[in-house]
Amino acid sequence: MDLLRNLPYEELGFAKIDLHRSLRQGLPEVIFCPGKTAKQVVEIAHRLKQHHELVLASRATPELAAAVLPQLQGAIYNELGRMLIFGPLPQPDDSVPAVAIVTAGTADLPVAEEAAVILQSTAIPLVQVTDVGVAGIHRLLGNLELLQSAAVTIVVAGMDGALPSVVGGLLDSPVIAVPTSIGYGASFQGLAALLTMLNSCAAGLTVVNIDNGFGAAVAATKIISSIMSAQRRPPARERDNRYSSPGAP
Protein backbone atom coordinates (compact mmCIF):
# COMPACT_ATOMS: atom_id res chain seq x y z
CA MET A 1 0.00 0.00 0.00
CA ASP A 2 2.79 2.40 0.81
CA LEU A 3 4.42 1.47 -2.44
CA LEU A 4 1.19 2.16 -4.30
CA ARG A 5 0.70 5.53 -2.67
CA ASN A 6 4.17 6.67 -3.55
CA LEU A 7 4.22 5.67 -7.18
CA PRO A 8 5.40 8.66 -9.17
CA TYR A 9 3.59 10.15 -12.13
CA GLU A 10 4.10 13.38 -14.01
CA GLU A 11 1.13 15.70 -14.55
CA LEU A 12 0.77 17.20 -18.05
CA GLY A 13 -2.80 18.44 -17.58
CA PHE A 14 -4.19 16.35 -20.42
CA ALA A 15 -2.28 13.25 -19.24
CA LYS A 16 -0.64 11.71 -16.20
CA ILE A 17 2.59 9.92 -17.18
CA ASP A 18 3.74 6.89 -15.23
CA LEU A 19 7.49 6.99 -14.82
CA HIS A 20 7.99 3.70 -13.08
CA ARG A 21 6.19 1.25 -15.30
CA SER A 22 8.99 0.51 -17.71
CA LEU A 23 11.45 0.13 -14.90
CA ARG A 24 9.17 -2.40 -13.29
CA GLN A 25 8.31 -4.50 -16.32
CA GLY A 26 11.34 -4.22 -18.59
CA LEU A 27 9.12 -2.65 -21.25
CA PRO A 28 9.73 0.61 -23.07
CA GLU A 29 7.27 3.45 -22.60
CA VAL A 30 4.68 3.27 -25.37
CA ILE A 31 2.38 6.17 -26.29
CA PHE A 32 -1.00 5.07 -27.74
CA CYS A 33 -1.58 7.67 -30.47
CA PRO A 34 -5.30 7.46 -31.40
CA GLY A 35 -7.21 10.39 -29.92
CA LYS A 36 -4.04 12.36 -29.28
CA THR A 37 -2.90 15.38 -31.31
CA ALA A 38 0.58 15.55 -32.82
CA LYS A 39 1.39 18.24 -30.25
CA GLN A 40 0.34 15.99 -27.37
CA VAL A 41 2.37 13.06 -28.70
CA VAL A 42 5.47 15.23 -29.03
CA GLU A 43 5.07 16.64 -25.53
CA ILE A 44 4.60 13.22 -23.91
CA ALA A 45 7.50 11.77 -25.90
CA HIS A 46 9.86 14.53 -24.76
CA ARG A 47 8.92 14.11 -21.12
CA LEU A 48 9.38 10.35 -21.25
CA LYS A 49 12.65 10.71 -23.10
CA GLN A 50 14.08 12.53 -20.07
CA HIS A 51 13.79 9.32 -18.08
CA HIS A 52 14.11 6.57 -20.72
CA GLU A 53 16.44 5.81 -23.57
CA LEU A 54 13.73 4.35 -25.79
CA VAL A 55 10.20 5.69 -26.31
CA LEU A 56 7.68 4.18 -28.74
CA ALA A 57 4.39 5.51 -30.10
CA SER A 58 1.92 2.96 -31.48
CA ARG A 59 -0.93 3.21 -33.99
CA ALA A 60 0.66 6.28 -35.57
CA THR A 61 -0.93 7.06 -38.93
CA PRO A 62 1.39 8.24 -41.72
CA GLU A 63 -0.13 11.72 -41.30
CA LEU A 64 0.63 11.81 -37.59
CA ALA A 65 4.13 10.46 -38.21
CA ALA A 66 4.80 13.17 -40.78
CA ALA A 67 3.74 15.83 -38.28
CA VAL A 68 5.63 14.39 -35.35
CA LEU A 69 8.92 13.20 -36.86
CA PRO A 70 10.45 16.66 -37.49
CA GLN A 71 10.02 17.47 -33.80
CA LEU A 72 11.51 14.23 -32.45
CA GLN A 73 15.21 14.35 -33.27
CA GLY A 74 16.41 10.92 -34.35
CA ALA A 75 13.06 9.18 -34.33
CA ILE A 76 12.14 6.86 -37.20
CA TYR A 77 8.80 5.56 -38.44
CA ASN A 78 8.07 1.86 -39.01
CA GLU A 79 5.25 2.20 -41.52
CA LEU A 80 4.23 -1.46 -41.64
CA GLY A 81 3.84 -1.58 -37.87
CA ARG A 82 2.53 2.01 -37.62
CA MET A 83 5.10 2.62 -34.89
CA LEU A 84 7.26 5.66 -34.07
CA ILE A 85 10.62 4.63 -32.59
CA PHE A 86 12.40 7.32 -30.60
CA GLY A 87 15.71 5.93 -29.44
CA PRO A 88 17.92 2.92 -30.22
CA LEU A 89 16.40 -0.57 -30.46
CA PRO A 90 18.60 -3.03 -28.51
CA GLN A 91 20.23 -6.09 -30.08
CA PRO A 92 18.42 -9.40 -29.47
CA ASP A 93 19.78 -11.03 -26.31
CA ASP A 94 20.43 -14.69 -27.18
CA SER A 95 20.48 -15.72 -23.54
CA VAL A 96 16.77 -14.96 -23.41
CA PRO A 97 14.16 -17.44 -24.72
CA ALA A 98 12.66 -16.49 -28.08
CA VAL A 99 9.11 -15.52 -28.93
CA ALA A 100 7.62 -16.74 -32.21
CA ILE A 101 5.17 -14.68 -34.26
CA VAL A 102 3.10 -16.67 -36.76
CA THR A 103 0.78 -15.01 -39.30
CA ALA A 104 -1.96 -16.62 -41.35
CA GLY A 105 -1.79 -14.27 -44.34
CA THR A 106 0.14 -11.39 -45.86
CA ALA A 107 -2.57 -8.93 -44.83
CA ASP A 108 -2.02 -9.80 -41.17
CA LEU A 109 1.57 -8.52 -41.26
CA PRO A 110 0.92 -5.00 -39.86
CA VAL A 111 -0.45 -6.45 -36.64
CA ALA A 112 2.46 -8.90 -36.43
CA GLU A 113 4.92 -6.06 -36.99
CA GLU A 114 3.41 -4.03 -34.14
CA ALA A 115 4.10 -7.00 -31.88
CA ALA A 116 7.56 -7.48 -33.37
CA VAL A 117 8.70 -3.93 -32.65
CA ILE A 118 7.54 -4.16 -29.03
CA LEU A 119 9.49 -7.40 -28.60
CA GLN A 120 12.56 -5.97 -30.34
CA SER A 121 12.51 -3.08 -27.90
CA THR A 122 12.91 -5.57 -25.06
CA ALA A 123 15.82 -7.46 -26.67
CA ILE A 124 13.81 -10.67 -26.73
CA PRO A 125 14.84 -12.81 -29.76
CA LEU A 126 12.14 -13.25 -32.40
CA VAL A 127 11.15 -16.11 -34.71
CA GLN A 128 8.77 -15.21 -37.52
CA VAL A 129 6.73 -17.51 -39.75
CA THR A 130 4.38 -15.87 -42.23
CA ASP A 131 1.51 -16.86 -44.54
CA VAL A 132 0.79 -20.27 -43.07
CA GLY A 133 -3.02 -20.20 -42.98
CA VAL A 134 -4.76 -23.51 -42.31
CA ALA A 135 -6.12 -23.91 -45.86
CA GLY A 136 -2.56 -24.92 -46.83
CA ILE A 137 -1.64 -26.83 -43.71
CA HIS A 138 1.58 -28.18 -45.21
CA ARG A 139 3.13 -24.71 -45.02
CA LEU A 140 2.63 -24.72 -41.24
CA LEU A 141 3.78 -28.29 -40.74
CA GLY A 142 6.98 -27.48 -42.59
CA ASN A 143 7.81 -24.82 -40.00
CA LEU A 144 6.89 -26.76 -36.88
CA GLU A 145 10.37 -27.29 -35.53
CA LEU A 146 11.08 -23.59 -35.82
CA LEU A 147 8.05 -22.85 -33.66
CA GLN A 148 8.97 -25.50 -31.12
CA SER A 149 12.22 -23.62 -30.49
CA ALA A 150 10.36 -20.63 -29.03
CA ALA A 151 9.20 -20.26 -25.42
CA VAL A 152 6.03 -18.39 -26.34
CA THR A 153 4.14 -18.20 -29.64
CA ILE A 154 1.94 -15.34 -30.85
CA VAL A 155 -0.47 -16.37 -33.63
CA VAL A 156 -1.96 -13.58 -35.76
CA ALA A 157 -4.92 -14.42 -38.00
CA GLY A 158 -7.94 -12.78 -39.58
CA MET A 159 -10.78 -14.24 -41.68
CA ASP A 160 -11.71 -17.59 -40.07
CA GLY A 161 -9.13 -17.20 -37.29
CA ALA A 162 -8.54 -20.94 -37.34
CA LEU A 163 -4.74 -20.92 -37.23
CA PRO A 164 -4.29 -20.61 -33.43
CA SER A 165 -6.40 -23.74 -32.85
CA VAL A 166 -4.06 -25.77 -35.05
CA VAL A 167 -0.89 -24.20 -33.65
CA GLY A 168 -2.19 -24.55 -30.09
CA GLY A 169 -2.70 -28.25 -30.65
CA LEU A 170 0.83 -28.72 -31.96
CA LEU A 171 2.81 -26.79 -29.33
CA ASP A 172 3.23 -27.36 -25.59
CA SER A 173 4.37 -23.81 -24.84
CA PRO A 174 2.02 -20.85 -24.19
CA VAL A 175 0.17 -19.62 -27.30
CA ILE A 176 -1.38 -16.14 -27.51
CA ALA A 177 -3.94 -15.58 -30.28
CA VAL A 178 -4.45 -12.21 -31.98
CA PRO A 179 -7.52 -11.88 -34.21
CA THR A 180 -7.20 -9.29 -36.96
CA SER A 181 -9.81 -7.23 -38.75
CA ILE A 182 -8.76 -8.73 -42.09
CA GLY A 183 -11.74 -10.17 -43.94
CA TYR A 184 -15.04 -9.01 -45.35
CA GLY A 185 -18.74 -9.68 -45.10
CA ALA A 186 -19.50 -11.89 -42.14
CA SER A 187 -16.04 -11.32 -40.66
CA PHE A 188 -17.54 -8.21 -39.07
CA GLN A 189 -14.16 -6.47 -38.77
CA GLY A 190 -12.52 -9.31 -36.93
CA LEU A 191 -15.40 -10.45 -34.75
CA ALA A 192 -15.52 -13.82 -36.53
CA ALA A 193 -11.83 -14.47 -35.92
CA LEU A 194 -12.14 -13.32 -32.31
CA LEU A 195 -15.01 -15.71 -31.62
CA THR A 196 -13.17 -18.57 -33.30
CA MET A 197 -10.19 -18.06 -31.02
CA LEU A 198 -12.26 -17.72 -27.84
CA ASN A 199 -13.98 -21.01 -28.69
CA SER A 200 -10.82 -22.80 -29.67
CA CYS A 201 -10.77 -26.51 -29.05
CA ALA A 202 -7.05 -26.15 -28.27
CA ALA A 203 -7.00 -25.88 -24.48
CA GLY A 204 -4.95 -23.14 -22.90
CA LEU A 205 -5.09 -20.68 -25.77
CA THR A 206 -5.47 -17.09 -24.59
CA VAL A 207 -6.75 -14.21 -26.68
CA VAL A 208 -6.28 -10.45 -26.93
CA ASN A 209 -8.39 -7.78 -28.63
CA ILE A 210 -8.76 -7.57 -32.42
CA ASP A 211 -5.59 -6.16 -34.06
CA ASN A 212 -3.92 -5.89 -30.66
CA GLY A 213 -0.38 -6.88 -31.59
CA PHE A 214 0.87 -4.59 -28.84
CA GLY A 215 -1.09 -6.43 -26.14
CA ALA A 216 0.06 -9.83 -27.32
CA ALA A 217 3.67 -8.69 -27.25
CA VAL A 218 3.32 -7.31 -23.72
CA ALA A 219 1.74 -10.59 -22.59
CA ALA A 220 4.60 -12.53 -24.18
CA THR A 221 7.12 -10.23 -22.54
CA LYS A 222 5.51 -10.84 -19.15
CA ILE A 223 5.86 -14.58 -19.63
CA ILE A 224 9.49 -14.32 -20.75
CA SER A 225 10.08 -12.01 -17.81
CA SER A 226 8.57 -14.62 -15.46
CA ILE A 227 10.88 -17.25 -16.90
CA MET A 228 13.95 -15.04 -16.43
CA SER A 229 13.06 -14.11 -12.86
CA ALA A 230 11.90 -17.57 -11.78
CA GLN A 231 14.90 -17.99 -9.53
CA ARG A 232 14.27 -14.85 -7.56
CA ARG A 233 10.65 -15.61 -6.65
CA PRO A 234 9.90 -16.71 -3.07
CA PRO A 235 8.39 -20.14 -2.48
CA ALA A 236 4.63 -20.05 -3.00
CA ARG A 237 2.12 -20.35 -0.21
CA GLU A 238 0.07 -23.42 0.13
CA ARG A 239 -3.45 -23.47 -1.05
CA ASP A 240 -6.03 -21.75 1.11
CA ASN A 241 -8.78 -24.30 1.53
CA ARG A 242 -11.26 -22.08 3.30
CA TYR A 243 -14.12 -22.48 0.88
CA SER A 244 -13.33 -25.84 -0.70
CA SER A 245 -16.48 -27.67 -1.59
CA PRO A 246 -17.33 -30.87 0.23
CA GLY A 247 -16.45 -32.87 -2.84
CA ALA A 248 -12.85 -31.68 -3.02
CA PRO A 249 -10.31 -34.07 -1.54
In the complex, minimum distance from the CB of residue 70 to its own copies, in angstroms, rounded to a whole number: 15
CA angle 46, 51, 52 (to 5 degrees): 85
Least distance (Å) between residue 45 CB and its own copies = 13
The residue within the footprint of its own copies, chosen from 42, 55, 115, 193 (CB under 8 A), is 193
Neighbours of 219 (CB within 10 A): 19
Nearest approach in angstroms of CB 71 to its own copies is: 17
Which residues within the stretch 148-177 sit at the binding site for its own copies (CB under 8 A)? 149-152, 159-162, 165-166, 168-170, 172-176
Q: Does 19 bind its own copies (CB under 8 A)?
A: no
Q: Identify which of residues 2 and 50 has a Cβ nearer to its own copies in the complex.
A: 2
Nearer to its own copies, 71 or 191 (CB): 191
Alpha-carbon distance 246 to 126, whole Å?
47
Q: How far apart are CA 82 and CA 58, in angstroms?
A: 6
Instruction: Count CA atoms closer than 13 A to 69's CA, side-chain side.
Output: 16
Q: Write down the least CB distance from residue 194 to its own copies, Å.
A: 6
Residue from the set 68, 86, 192, 213 that interacts with its own copies by CB under 8 A: 192
The single-letter DSSP state of residue 62 is H
Comparison of 68 and 125: residue with beta carbon closer to its own copies: 125
Burial class (CB in 10 A: 0-12, 13-18, 19+), 129: buried
C-alpha closest to that of 76 among 57, 48, 59, 53: 57
Assess 232 for contact with its own copies (CB under 8 A): no
- Min dist CB 26 to its own copies, Å, is 9
d(CA 38, CA 102): 33
What binding mask, one character per residue, do residues 109-148 give for its own copies by CB under 8 A, x or -?
x---x--xx--x----xxxx-xxxxxxxxxx-xx-x-x--
Among 15, 47, 67, 71, binds its own copies (CB under 8 A): 15
Q: How many residues form the binding site for its own copies (CB under 8 A)?
A: 143
Closer CB to its own copies, 71 or 125, in the complex: 125
Site for its own copies in 26-85 (CB under 8 A): 30, 34-36, 40, 59, 76-81, 83, 85
Residues 6+ apart with CB under 8 A from 119: 99, 101, 126, 217, 220, 221
Binding of its own copies at residue 4 (CB under 8 A)? yes
Distances (CA, A) of 68 to 43, 104, 126, 228: 10, 32, 29, 36
